[in-house]
Amino acid sequence: MKPATRKHTRPAQLWYDTIGWRWGIVIGYTAVIFCLSSIPGSSIPSIYLNDKLIHAGEFGLLGIFLARALSLWKPAWSTRCIALWSILVSIAYGVTDEWHQSFVPQRSADFADLAADSVGALIAVWLWSRVGIRWMWLRY
């Protein structure tokens, strides 16, 4: 009996698509989130988009970056395991982000923002796990 393997094999690795680059993107992106969260409330520009949609998109992207880094770093992990860890780490970062905002002038920690962060990560990583099988550039 053959051992269980992934359905698709990874294409040839490019120089910019290594574990270091993937984790560098995750670390850089979390640094951007931290910097944006450090902006005092009075200095935030007016955006014509719902605040919760921005939170969901921001943490959805973080979840996908984490899933892509984990899929290369831990190739033996199942897609479900990678998705679960990506979601959990994104939510944990959302918690620390809201806590950080509680120390920023004219900003506050908001449970609704954390909920939007969590839902964004959940939906994006779920889509990554489903669509990424067909779109190799997104999956790996």
Task: Give residue-wise pLDDT tens across range 10-63.
Answer: 555 666 678 889 999 999 999 999 999 998 876 776 666 688 999 999 999 999
Residue 114 lies in a domain: yes
Share the mean pLDDT of the chain. Answer: 85
Residue 9 lies in a domain: no
- Minimum mean pLDDT among 24-28, 32-36, 73-77, 131-135: which range? 131-135
pLDDT per residue as tens digits for the range 4-25: 455 555 555 666 678 889 999 9
pLDDT at 17: 73
Q: From CA 21, how far away is CA 76, in angstroms rounded? A: 20
Contact between residue 39 and residue 55 where contact means Cβ atoms under 8 Å apart: no
The pLDDT-based confidence of 122 (bands split at 50, 70, 90) is very high
pLDDT at 9: 53
Report the number of distinct structural domains present in the chain. Answer: 1
Going by C-beta distance under 8 Å and a sequence separation of 6 or more, which residues neighbour residue 125? 60, 63, 64, 66, 67, 83, 86, 87, 90
**Residue 70 is part of which domain span?**
52-139
Residue 34 lies in a domain: no
Q: Tally Cβ neighbours within 10 Å of residue 36.
A: 13
Residue 62 lies in a domain: yes
Please check the confidence at residue 101 and state whether its pLDDT lies above 80: yes
